[in-house]
A = this chain, B = another copy of it.
Amino acid sequence: MPVTPHYTDPVALILIALMLIGLSAAVGGWLVQKFGQPAVLGELLVGIVIGNLAYWLHEPIITVIREGDIVRQITLYALSHGVGLVGAAKTMLPSGPETARVLAALGSEVGPRAVGVFLFIDELSRLAVIFLLFLVGLETSVSEMRRVGHRAFSVAVVGVVCPMFLGLGTLAIVMPGMSLAHDLFIGGILTATSVGITARVFHDLGRTQSTEARIILGAAVVDDILGLLVLAVVTGLVVHGTVSFWGISEITLKAIVFLVGSIGAGLWLTPRLVPRIRRMGFRNVRLIFGLGLAFVLSWLANRIGLATIVGAFAAGLILERFFTQELEDEHSLREVLSPLESLVVPVFFVLMGLQVKLETFLNWHAIELAAILTVVAIIGKLVAGPAAGRGVSWLSVGIGMLPRGEVGLIFASIGKALGVVDDTVFSAIILMVVVTTLLTPPLLGLVMPQSDHKPPTPAPATTTATQSPD
């Protein structure tokens, strides 16, 4: 047993990593907000810069971190096969100059501890996404969706169907011979719309009360649910490997049964259970019941083959109705969770940026693909604008649906973890997400001038840029 020179707390490296991530996220967010961009963009960009700079400078810890999920598989293989980190990495990574650098980092003195830092940060960021989708669910109410009505629904459906089929058609031309699952996954990523970014931009423009804003927010909500269904179907297809009518039906049915069942049971049980638990004198009922339900449904969703975030979103939907309408307390659950959100959610986006390998863009194919995907992503959503009907600016609606934001990134990270999306496609998708997110604020500013008066009530707290008390 080696004697350490002095007692080193196992979290010492994690402390510094978290501090640097938090600081980078704050600086990145601050910088892009100077240019009127949403903070999430800065978090991504700062991750991209640091990750590639550190790789170029041979910094071992970040070199390990930017390999992403394969590091986890290498670690599990090393622990169960007794071959050590380097041995496992040699069997699992392709040979090449990039791999040599990763092997050197893993084999260095700090290697095993770098793996420990990656595992913790990665798990924390996965919990952060679950938390984020829970919060998005908490902001999504059935009644709100009814108010925005069939217009929002039409926009959402067109905004999902068009990018999906445009994407499938384009991929059949530019990447022929790939599996249908691969094409469906990328099509699925193109269908996403980010509620957080859209809401935030309208808030900044002082136009939250406009009809366009209501339609877009409503459509984004429906889009979220459709997107989760698409994700569930596509993930299931990838895992089962074949595309059969029964496979699609089974997964769709599973997703619907899970969503309808858990939401139905949850909506029925929560108002009966929570007041009883409160009367028993339990502390922090909403906090523990809320996150507990999110965690259990996430686990259950994963257990039946869906993504964890589907369960987290369902938990949020269940609790929105009861916790915001029937429990009238001094603080909303949303408000209480806001500081936690602003601490952990950026970890996901910075880590996502860290894993963007700019060296893949040395490949002409990746740039080409990124450009094509971006054009498809923009056209697919602009086409949804006219579905909003008369009396509104269809261009505003179309542009408002553009940002893929966190939903697209979550899709992409799941695709990467599943092995459907390779490094080239992943980098192309990140670029597409960055460009669609970056384009939205200035374009919306052009077609929809800023309101003279600030909205009377504050906009609903957005997911990626919450103004919590600092």
List residues of A whose CB falls within 8 A of some B CB.
1, 4-12, 14-16, 18-19, 22-23, 26, 29-30, 33-34, 39, 69, 72-73, 75-87, 92, 111-113, 115-116, 119-120, 122-123, 126-127, 130, 235-236, 238-239, 278, 280-288, 291-292, 295-296, 298-299, 302-303, 305, 307-308, 329-331, 336-337, 339-340, 342-343, 414, 417-418, 465, 467-470
Q: Given known contacts A78-B79, A303-B12, is B119 in contact with A283 (CB within 8 Å)? A: no
Given contacts A11-B126, A16-B299, A340-B343, 9 further A-B contacts (CB under 8 A): A9-B308, A19-B295, A26-B282, A75-B112, A76-B116, A82-B86, A284-B342, A284-B470, A336-B339
Q: Given known contacts A468-B336, A469-B330, is B295 in contact with A16 (CB within 8 Å)? A: yes
Q: Given known contacts A30-B280, A287-B342, is B10 in contact with A123 (CB within 8 Å)? A: yes
Question: What distance in Å separates the Cβ of A71 from its nearest Cβ neighbour in chain B?
Answer: 11
Q: Which residues of B contact A469 (CB under 8 A)?
A: 286, 329-331, 336
Q: Given known contacts A23-B292, A123-B120, is B15 in contact with A130 (CB within 8 Å)? A: yes
Q: Given known contacts A8-B302, A30-B281, A123-B10, is B287 in contact with A470 (CB within 8 Å)? A: yes
Question: What distance in Å separates the Cβ of A174 from its nearest Cβ neighbour in chain B?
Answer: 27
Q: Given known contacts A11-B126, A305-B6, is B84 in contact with A285 (CB within 8 Å)? A: no
Measured CA separation A239–B9 after assembly (Å): 13
Q: Which residues of B contact A115 (CB under 8 A)?
A: 79
Q: Which residues of B contact A15 (CB under 8 A)?
A: 127, 130, 295-296, 298-299, 308
Q: Which residues of B contact A111 (CB under 8 A)?
A: 79-80
Q: Which residues of B contact A307 (CB under 8 A)?
A: 9
Q: Which residues of B contact A280 (CB under 8 A)?
A: 30
Measured CA separation A79–B296 after assembly (Å): 32
Q: Which residues of B contact A119 (CB under 8 A)?
A: 116, 119-120
Residue of B nearest to A336 (CB): B339
Measured CA separation A33–B73 after assembly (Å): 44
Q: Which 3 A-B pairs have the closest CB atoms?
A: A82-B84, A331-B469, A19-B295
- Sample (25) of A-B pairs whose CB atoms are under 8 Å apart: A1-B77, A7-B238, A7-B417, A10-B126, A11-B308, A15-B298, A16-B295, A16-B299, A18-B295, A26-B283, A75-B112, A76-B112, A76-B116, A78-B78, A79-B85, A80-B112, A82-B87, A119-B120, A278-B470, A283-B465, A284-B342, A286-B469, A287-B342, A287-B343, A291-B343
Most buried by B among A5, A112, A281, A470: A470
Identify which of B23, B239, B282 contacts A30 (C-beta below 8 A): B282
Task: Establish whether residues A80 and B72, one from each chain, have CB atoms under 8 Å apart when the complex forms.
Answer: no
Question: What distance in Å separates the Cβ of A92 from its nearest Cβ neighbour in chain B?
Answer: 6
Q: Given known contacts A9-B307, A123-B11, is B19 in contact with A470 (CB within 8 Å)? A: no
Q: Which residues of B contact A414 (CB under 8 A)?
A: 7
Q: Which residues of B contact A342 (CB under 8 A)?
A: 283-284, 287
Residue of B nearest to A19 (CB): B295
Q: Given known contacts A287-B342, A470-B286, is B10 in contact with A72 (CB within 8 Å)? A: yes
Measured CA separation A299–B12 after assembly (Å): 5
Task: Establish whether residues B84 and A81, one from each chain, have CB atoms under 8 Å apart when the complex forms.
Answer: yes
Measured CA separation A68–B413 after assembly (Å): 32
Most buried by B among A7, A235, A239: A7
Measured CA separation A16–B16 after assembly (Å): 28
Q: Which residues of B contact A305 (CB under 8 A)?
A: 6-7
Residue of B nearest to A29 (CB): B283
Question: What distance in Å separates the Cβ of A23 from its nearest Cβ neighbour in chain B?
Answer: 6
Measured CA separation A82–B83 after assembly (Å): 4
Task: Establish whether residues B291 and A22, one from each chain, have CB atoms under 8 Å apart when the complex forms.
Answer: yes
Q: Which residues of B contact A22 (CB under 8 A)?
A: 288, 291-292
Q: Given known contacts A15-B299, A305-B7, A339-B337, is B1 in contact with A73 (CB within 8 Å)? A: yes
Task: Establish whether residues A418 and B7, one from each chain, have CB atoms under 8 Å apart when the complex forms.
Answer: yes
